């Protein structure tokens, strides 16, 4: 049984979205913009954890490695903006930074497989995530991330998070020293198989177990 059929949807209303757009038109920086976006997300998805990561990879970083810098967070105590992390070439990094595609994950088994800090996520009650690449001229300059306490996402929720990522993107500036280390060639010629994320259906079955 698909848990998304029973989880309540958190659709953004046209009124709420219009208010957000009006508020964003007066914002001067990412902090101001994300404060409004986070307020809307907290109203529609209680318990959500939101973050924005900048692709801070430089030419000095190891090949097949991406460095991420957290530049905004809804939970600074648990996820401070000073946080940096390095990611190796995996299906997660290839999907976001090479193919520029959204990743939707459901179930704690998927979080455990994907993120090193899954123990902290479990303590926060997080069970699902949406990672949206922030693209500029075809380059993934960062990611917009929403982690939720629900067992599964509705398609309209995924679309809403993608829209909010697009709205936030105008305040996300690429790192001056950004060097894209991941290419389609690097993915194709990876020395070992890239571990694939479980399919959405498998994740749903795991979360329902």
> Which helix (H) or strand (E) covers residue 35, if one does?
helix 30-44
Residue 186 binned pLDDT confidence (cut-offs 50, 70, 90): very low
* Phi, psi dihedral angles at 49 (to 5 degrees): -115, 130
Distance CA 80, CA 82 (A): 5
Can you give 151-166 as a three-state secondary structure string? CCCCHHHHHHHHHHHH
Distance CA 33, CA 180 (A): 27
46-208: CATH topology is Beta-Lactamase (3.30.450)
User: Which has more confidence, 108 or 209?
Assistant: 108
Least confident of 16-20, 36-40, 49-53, 185-189: 185-189
pTM: predicted TM-score of the whole model, two decimal places: 0.82
Distance CA 138, CA 87 (A): 20
Does the pLDDT value for residue 197 go beyond 70? no
pLDDT recorded at residue 72 = 97
- Compute the Cα dihedral for 76, 139, 42, 20 and give only its sign: positive
Residue 45 binned pLDDT confidence (cut-offs 50, 70, 90): very high
User: Considering the chain, what is the average pLDDT of its residues?
Assistant: 83
pLDDT recorded at residue 168 = 97
Average pLDDT over residues 197-206: 42
Residues in the chain: 209
Residue 10 DSSP label: -
Query: Taking the mean position of all CA atoms in its chain, how far away is CA 209?
Result: 25
Average pLDDT over residues 13-31: 95
Each residue's pLDDT tens digit, 113-171: 999 889 999 999 999 999 999 999 888 999 999 999 999 999 999 999 999 999 999 99
Do residues 205 and 82 touch, judged by C-beta distance below 8 A?
Answer: no
Rg (CA), the chain: 17
């Amino acid at each position: 049984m698909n848990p998304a059929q029973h989880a309540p949807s958190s659709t953004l209303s046209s009124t709420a979205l219009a208010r957000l757009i009006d508020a964003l038109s007066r914002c001067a920086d990412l902090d101001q913009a994300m404060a409004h976006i986070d307020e809307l997300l907290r109203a529609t998805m209680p318990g959500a954890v939101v973050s924005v990561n900048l692709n801070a990879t430089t030419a000095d970083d190891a090949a097949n490695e991406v460095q991420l810098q957290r530049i905004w967070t809804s939970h600074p105590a648990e996820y401070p903006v000073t946080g940096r992390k390095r990611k190796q070439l995996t299906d997660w990094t290839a999907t976001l930074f090479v193919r520029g595609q959204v990743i939707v994950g459901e179930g704690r088994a998927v979080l455990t497989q994907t993120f090193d800090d899954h123990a902290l996520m479990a303590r926060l009650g997080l069970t699902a995530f949406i990672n949206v690449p922030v693209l500029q001229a075809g380059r993934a300059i960062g990611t917009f991330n929403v982690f939720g306490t629900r067992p599964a996402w509705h398609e309209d929720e995924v679309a809403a998070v993608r829209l909010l990522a697009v709205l936030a993107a105008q305040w996300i500036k690429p790192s001056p020293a950004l060097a894209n280390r991941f290419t389609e060639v690097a993915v194709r010629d990876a020395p070992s198989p890239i571990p694939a994320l479980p399919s959405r259906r498998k994740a749903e079955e795991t979360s329902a177990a």
